[in-house]
Structure 1
Amino acid sequence: MVVGDLATDVVAVLAGGPAPGSDRPAAIRTRGGGAGANVAVHLVRLGTPVVLAGCVGDDPAGAALLAELAGAGVRPAVRVVPGQPTGTIISLVEPGGQRSMLADRGANLALAPADVPRPSPGGHLHLSGYTLLDPRSRPAGLAALAAAAAAGCTVSVDPASADPLARYGVGRWLADTAAATLVLPNADEARLLTGCADPADAARALAARHPVAVVTLGGDGALWAAGDRLVHRPALPAAVVDTTGAGDAFAAGLLSVWLADRAGDPSRALDAGLARAAAVVAGPGAR
């Protein structure tokens, strides 16, 4: 089960740097997005059945997202929230693929504990950190974590974004996610959560709290830390167009292998995540 946001992504790939007060050509596309939905769609494409819990507004954008999810094979447990707009993300992508995101989470903030289905005993919960980072949706995230623990599920958590994580509070985040089996921060988030400047040290520090910590390093690949073991895998070559959704794609690729063989070689799981991320950054949009 994946719990997280559904959104419409408006991706603007700029032909050059921003031009304040003037015009700049851009290729603009509208696509399905949202961290939770991205992970869910990628997992299904990789052969892992998924139920997605979330919320959309009662508008054409929400209906389109639900139709897209159903067409992809995701089983939606998605509430339509009257009077609320569906979430929208504007992603401004500069040459080289770096992006800035403007987020209106809309109906995602209405997610409530009752919106999260009871997990299957012994299953897996993937929680998008955005669910915890706002006080309106936080109770749903906490309820999902508690229900997963009670059902004996493994749990993966993606911290989502360094700036809102810092505002939320590192201590509160670590307490909320203490029972997670696997955490998936990027390097900036890992440094913030541990106070370690070196990503490898940060990965080891997180692995002292959780059975597995995986830290993504952008163009430098990713790290897996578990116990006293640290594994690094390099990124795959890619002509980077847009980094939107790369972390979600990585998480799904890694989970698709790890869930099938949790005692297997972590290099295989890392490589699967890096391959999925490389495929996503080669074009505009998160999936």
Structure 2
Amino acid sequence: MRDVVVVGDLATDVVVLLGGHPAPGSDRPAAIRTRGGGAGANVAVHLARLGTPVTFAGCAGDDAAGTGLLAELTAAGVTPAVRRVPGAATGTIVSLVEPDGQRSMLADRGANLALEPGDVPVPASGGHLHLSGYTLFTAGPRAAGLAALAAATEAGCTVSVDPASTGPLAGYGVDRWLADTAAATLVLPNADEARLLTGCADPAAAAQALAARHPVAVVTLGAEGALWAAGDRLVHRPAHPAHVVDTTGAGDAFTAGLLAVWSGDPDGDPAAALEAGLARAAAVVARPGAR
């Protein structure tokens, strides 16, 4: 089993499960829970729980929230490579979850914006680097993400990247993102991100277009499952049945499930890797929170 280094955000997730109809100017009932979050940290925690040796590289504030999140990472089996940033607040994400499970997210990335190239350890030769796309969207973390990608490639590691979110991705620029991530072995967009990156309306066509740039492209389709594209091969697996409570972190869970299988055997059965990702995602959406 290969070691994995995950680079990305560490944050407190404030999950707000909304109940009833909107009530502008008045109250709306909700169930509110606070949990560990951040796209990169979510992937790392899921990988550790699946038995994959994993190091998480990121930044946290020198506050109580950062202390608690670091303890949570360690308890989950993650090796933290997290720099505490004096005077900075640990990142916070508020996730507003509608009764149908769909969510909107409000992000204050806080100390995550202080990530520097020296904060990221290079995976051992033959290891794997997973880079959260959020790392590339702002100047400071971007330098760290690009340095990590270059160092991992030079060391002979495989590299996976997820595009993170269509809004920041569009603002950052598709051509710029494609150039930055050209060396990635595996890209992991959802259907909307794949459409944005390729201009293809059909997710299957988008997956194949991305597979022309990278050895492997995996496109998640929500309730429709996921696609694997490599060369001229296209594999689809349906989503696992689930009672959806909260979709927060479903993509991160899928990524971890897939990487736990694929990083150990990149030439193995694509269907098995997809199934592992879909199983992890189905487990996460059935409860509040990303983990």
Q: TM-score, normalised by structure 1?
A: 0.99
Partner of 2:192: 188
Amino acid of the structure 2 residue aligned with 1:217: L
| Residue deviations 1:29-51 (CA, integer Å, cap 9, x gap) | 00000001000000011110101
1:77 Cα deviation after fit: 0.3
Partner of 1:227: 231
Is 1:3 matched with 2:7? yes
Give the distance between the partners of 1:144 and 1:264, measured in 2 at CA: 26
* Unmatched segments (≥5 aa) in structure 2: none
Secondary structure of 2:125 counterpart: coil
2:163 maps to which of 159, 164, 180? 159
Q: Give runs of aligned pairs for residues 95-134 of structure 1, distance below 5 A.
A: 95-134=99-138
Secondary structure of 1:254 counterpart: helix
| Residue deviations 1:198-244 (CA, integer Å, cap 9, x gap) | 00000000000000000000000000000000000000110000000
Give the distance between the partners of 1:111 and 1:20, measured in 2 at CA: 38
Partner of 1:148: 152
Identity of aligned residues (%): 82
Amino acid of the structure 2 residue aligned with 1:162: T
What CA RMSD, in Å, does the superposition of the two structures yield over aligned residues?
Answer: 0.6
Is 1:215 matched with 2:231? no
Partner of 2:50: 46
Q: Give runs of aligned pairs for residues 55-70 of structure 1, distance below 5 A.
A: 55-70=59-74
Secondary structure of 1:262 counterpart: coil
Give the 3 Å change call, closer, same or farther, for CA 112–208 of structure 1 in structure 2.
Answer: same
Q: Aligned pair count? A: 287
1:15 Cα deviation after fit: 1.0
1:236 maps to which of 234, 240, 245? 240
| Residue deviations 1:127-172 (CA, integer Å, cap 9, x gap) | 0000001122100000110110110000000100000000000000
1:118 Cα deviation after fit: 2.5
Give the distance between the partners of 1:243 and 1:13, measured in 2 at CA: 11
Amino acid of the structure 2 residue aligned with 1:83: G
* Unmatched segments (≥5 aa) in structure 1: none
Amino acid of the structure 2 residue aligned with 1:158: D
Partners of 1:155 and 1:181 within 8 A in 2: yes
Secondary structure of 2:140 counterpart: coil
| Residue deviations 1:235-270 (CA, integer Å, cap 9, x gap) | 011000000000000000000011122111100000
Partners of 1:9 and 1:90 within 8 A in 2: yes
Q: Give runs of aligned pairs for residues 253-272 of structure 1, distance below 5 A.
A: 253-272=257-276
Give the distance between the partners of 1:17 and 1:75, measured in 2 at CA: 43
Give the distance between the partners of 2:203 and 2:261, measured in 1 at CA: 23
Is 1:199 matched with 2:203? yes
Amino acid of the structure 1 residue aligned with 2:175: G
Partners of 1:17 and 1:94 within 8 A in 2: no
Give the 3 Å change call, closer, same or farther, for CA 207–17 of structure 1 in structure 2.
Answer: farther
Secondary structure of 2:223 counterpart: helix
Is 1:280 matched with 2:274? no
Give the distance between the partners of 2:102 and 2:266, measured in 1 at CA: 33
Partners of 1:13 and 1:27 within 8 A in 2: yes
1:16 Cα deviation after fit: 2.5
